[in-house]
Structure 1
Amino acid sequence: MQIPGGPDGRRMLAVAFVDKAGSGLWGATAALYFTYVAGLSTAEIGLLLGVSGAVGIAGPPLGGLLADRIPLRPLLAAVQVLRAVASLALLAGTDLWVLLGIAAVGSLGDRASAVLTKLYATRIAGPDRSHYQAVNRTMSNVGWAVGGLVAAAALTTGTTAVYRWLLTGDALSFVAVALLTLRCGEPPSASRRVARGGPSASTGSGTGSGTGSASGTGGAAGAGAQELPAGAEARPARTTNPWRDRRYLAYTVTEIFLFLDDSVFKMGLALWAVTATTVPHGLVPLLLVLNNVLVVCFQVPFARFGTTPEKARGTLPALAAAFLAGGAALAASATDSRWLAATALTLAAIAFTVAEMLHATVSWELSVALAPPTAQGAYLGVHGLAQAAQRSAGPLAVTGAIAAGPLGWLAFGAGLSVICLAQRRLTRDDDETALSVPRITVSEH
């Protein structure tokens, strides 16, 4: 299988695998580490994770803003080093407030790293970014599964030393990621080129419409030089500042809701299964495994639904149907029949996994296509706020659906379906949207 972005694309896939493998080591054991090693209470752990998560919300816009002004490769490597230092620093203390400060710095780096990695992939993959994102998500899921399995095996010993080694392994994964990143080339950047006032040429960076003509085979040079189109500089408020782009801000708000599948799998499915259905508790981890397997097997084929902005928009009704089916299946699982409940939960897991894969494809394409090349970093940084906000608000939305019972899940699925259709209208390609911004392609030469 050909990987968009050439050698740099392959190295960034290795980055995704190593990064998520390290995260799998720590993600499965963080609460246990703070309990058995740091000696924190449940309330203190909740405060630690809640405050650090809130601080991390600033990571995406800050990282995206910097990426439009300084070279992306060393910036991304520096953020990975920051994550490594923060992880290792957790080993040094047990005081709540010290740990909170360290965790906040680490959370800031985690969120910034996510948007910077996406931006790098966007710039090197060019018009093939949808396919590249699908491969990247597959590698990330495999890495997370490997890290989780290693953590599960290590925890069978039950010693506090194991928790420290797993945290150290997470930190070392960030060091490895930083070294891999430094081996990559610096991708072309329209924003930095325009900021310097230089001429522009095509090299396969992301384009405003997602249909650039560059080869997208690496971060070096390309062909097909093209000057900035007439009038491209005449829209500074709309094309360079996402905070003044009301259309993009509204799009980002809809994204907060469409990322809720994350909270469904992290807590909603499990809580609903054990509190409102008659299925054995052992089914819950199997449903999560099913989600992981489906993403690994089908995310790449699903990439064809987001190869252009038009295809991505056209996929939103199917995404609406998947969310509606998932909510209906969860509602139907509240039955006295164990087999019917298990079947309904399995169908719900499949439906929400399909929604996850479709939304990942659509979101990747539209978040880039709606962003002008001269401010990709700033725009994608703002878009990154959607995931960060969902991680804070998502648990409340899911627990609200659970509290409301079957009707709550029906309303949950129907509400997300309406959001999908609203987003389709919001991102329509007319003279008022960023989708119609003329393509701007650049060269670092």
Structure 2
Amino acid sequence: MTAEPSPRRAADGPRESRTPLALLRSWLPPGHSARRLIAASFVDSLGTGLFIAGSALFFTRVLGLTTVQVGVGLSLAGLAGFLGMVPLGRLADRIGGKRAIMALYVWRGACFAVYPLAREPEVFFVLAFLIGIAEWGGGPIVQGIVGAVEGEASRVRTMAVIASVRNVGFSLGAVLASLALATDSGTAFTTLVFADALTFFAAAALLSRLPAAANGAAAGPAAARAPAGGSVLRVHDPRFLALSVLNGVLFLHAILLTAALPLWIATRTQVPPAAIGAVVVLNTVLVVLLQVRLSRGSLDLRSAARRQQWSGWTLAGCCLLVALSASGGPVVATALVIAATVALTLGEIWQSVGAWRLSYALSPEDRRGYYLSVYELGTSGASAAGPALLTWAVIENGRAGWIGLAACFALTGLAITSIAHRAGRAAGAPAPTTPEDQALSPAHESSQER
């Protein structure tokens, strides 16, 4: 009979394996290339958190822009990303993924470095457009690099770690920005922008040490090749197109978080400016904690549509709470904004969960990739048109604008439920219920991919 280990020896082993450093090493992918990608993603997201938390005050107080001008600039950035994504993918095929992503980081760093000089609206619009091209085009290139430097079994896990690290960096950047915002100083706001520019240059430097294999990651013979005759008009089911558009309406939650709500706090409420960063942190933390939990149970078309209906209701509640915040003092207004952020976050999670299930279940198996890309046009359109539309609707029109937006969200949720049920009966399409499907719940990055 084998002797059992002593209690002291048994306890020592687990204690060593559970040190923070050991846990971090076990959590990170083992490859050096993957870790460099993760490090660059963390640095990038840190700068993004710094900038987004202070951008509303930088635009309005340092550059002297109106809220409508800010909205137009952000919409131009979204439009640039929409128009530039395919050309940038082709560029990556031509010059390689490593060179392409490094060029995009340097491009963004240079644009942010000159942002404080954009005192005229026309200059701001041009810079916002240039930044949007680089900002939206990097995601697919990073995915291609991960596919090249990681094995088949570890690619999904590496992408999940990158997404988690980005959330951490984003939150940390927002916390650091809150300290600068508390000073209510134009110099501090400008410093945040310069710091963001430096993070892009630092990310490019980290990625310069990737191996040659990463440079050819996106250059496969079939990479980023659009299907012949690929057109939205080839999706013959009008219900699917309608659901894409309605999902884009719900996706306006991303614009609420990054543009409309910060501008509202800064210009129409007595909420302390530092609360803008706290709102971003609260949203990110709640998504990390609740995403997987609230994804459970969405295993068929009906439950997925119900999630999007819930999203419409909670986003409507968010709008009503924000509308009330304009008439309260600092304490009441801050409490209302925090409650609105919680409602917004629930709407964000349920929108993404429902969207993934609906789009997958209603996509023909032999054309699933194409249909899913068409479905994403709704969110891309919202990202392009949303900033200008929302800043005009809610900032310029005040409480009436928020009430109107609340009604729009609520009606959108009801419409999705009705259309999805009819589309499901017409197509006879079951929702995926395999363990692999259940593991592919949508993640926070906005963001947004904000």
Deviates more, 1:407-416 or 1:75-84: 407-416
Deviates more, 1:67-76 or 1:167-176: 67-76
Shift of 1:262: 1.9
Aligned to 1:104: 129
Shift of 1:64: 4.3
Partner of residue 25 from structure 1, selected from 27, 39, 50: 50
- 1:85-124 deviation line (CA, Å, top 9, x unaligned): 2122335664554444333212221122245446666886
Aligned to 1:327: 316
Aligned to 2:214: 186
Compared CA separation, residues 75 and 375, structure 1 to 2 (3 A): farther
Alignment size in residue pairs: 390
Residue 318 (1) aligns with residue 313 (2): no
Please say if residues 155 and 162 of structure 1, whose CA atoms lie closer than 8 Å, have aligned partners that are also in contact. Answer: yes
Please say if residues 402 and 408 of structure 1, whose CA atoms lie closer than 8 Å, have aligned partners that are also in contact. Answer: no
Aligned to 2:380: 385
Compared CA separation, residues 29 and 288, structure 1 to 2 (3 A): closer
Compared CA separation, residues 189 and 172, structure 1 to 2 (3 A): closer
Please say if residues 328 and 410 of structure 1, whose CA atoms lie closer than 8 Å, have aligned partners that are also in contact. Answer: no
Shift of 1:170: 1.0
Give me the whole-angstrom Cα distance separating, in 2, the residues matched to 1:57 and 1:25: 24
Task: Give 3-state SS (helix, strand or coil) of 1:192's partner.
Answer: coil
Give me the whole-angstrom Cα distance separating, in 2, the residues matched to 1:344 and 1:43: 24
Shift of 1:388: 3.1
Please say if residues 25 and 150 of structure 1, whose CA atoms lie closer than 8 Å, have aligned partners that are also in contact. Answer: yes
Aligned to 2:436: none
Task: Give 3-state SS (helix, strand or coil) of 2:221's partner.
Answer: helix
Name stretches of at least 5 consecutive residues in structure 1 with no aligned partner.
198-234, 436-445
Give me the whole-angstrom Cα distance separating, in 1, the residues matched to 2:337 and 2:64: 37
Please say if residues 45 and 170 of structure 2, whose CA atoms lie closer than 8 Å, have aligned partners that are also in contact. Answer: yes
Residue 142 (1) aligns with residue 139 (2): no
Residue 169 (1) aligns with residue 195 (2): yes
Residue 298 (1) aligns with residue 290 (2): yes
Give me the whole-angstrom Cα distance separating, in 2, the residues matched to 1:156 and 1:432: 53
Give the 5 Å matches for 1:11-410: 11-34=36-59, 38=63, 48-49=73-74, 51-64=76-89, 66=91, 71-90=96-115, 94=119, 96-117=121-142, 135-155=161-181, 161-182=187-208, 183=210, 186=214, 192-194=220-222, 236-237=227-228, 241-246=230-235, 252-266=244-258, 281=271, 289-299=281-291, 301=293, 315-328=304-317, 349-361=341-353, 363=355, 385-386=380-381, 387-395=383-391, 402-403=399-400, 409-410=406-407
Task: Give 3-state SS (helix, strand or coil) of 1:193's partner.
Answer: coil
Aligned to 2:444: none
Shift of 1:259: 0.7
Please say if residues 60 and 385 of structure 1, whose CA atoms lie closer than 8 Å, have aligned partners that are also in contact. Answer: no
Please say if residues 253 and 315 of structure 2, whose CA atoms lie closer than 8 Å, have aligned partners that are also in contact. Answer: no
Q: What RMSD in Å do the two structures reach over aligned CA positions?
A: 5.5
Please say if residues 83 and 110 of structure 1, whose CA atoms lie closer than 8 Å, have aligned partners that are also in contact. Answer: yes
Aligned to 2:10: none
TM-score, normalised to structure 1, is 0.63
Please say if residues 327 and 414 of structure 1, whose CA atoms lie closer than 8 Å, have aligned partners that are also in contact. Answer: no
The letter of the residue matching 1:167 is V
- 1:266-303 deviation line (CA, Å, top 9, x unaligned): 46667999999xx9846975665532321232335556
Give me the whole-angstrom Cα distance separating, in 2, the residues matched to 1:160 and 1:343: 26
TM-score, normalised to structure 2, is 0.62
Give me the whole-angstrom Cα distance separating, in 1, the residues matched to 2:60 and 2:248: 31
Aligned to 1:220: none
Compared CA separation, residues 101 and 352, structure 1 to 2 (3 A): closer
- 1:117-164 deviation line (CA, Å, top 9, x unaligned): 466668869798887666544433322222223233335566655444
Give me the whole-angstrom Cα distance separating, in 2, the residues matched to 1:116 and 1:273: 35
Compared CA separation, residues 343 and 104, structure 1 to 2 (3 A): closer
Shift of 1:190: 9.5
Give me the whole-angstrom Cα distance separating, in 2, the residues matched to 1:10 and 1:420: 42
- 1:339-385 deviation line (CA, Å, top 9, x unaligned): 99999876654343123124345656887996969989987985762
Compared CA separation, residues 428 and 49, structure 1 to 2 (3 A): same
Give me the whole-angstrom Cα distance separating, in 1, the residues matched to 2:117 and 2:266: 38
Aligned to 1:415: 412
Compared CA separation, residues 64 and 384, structure 1 to 2 (3 A): farther
The letter of the residue matching 1:356 is E
Compared CA separation, residues 155 and 119, structure 1 to 2 (3 A): same
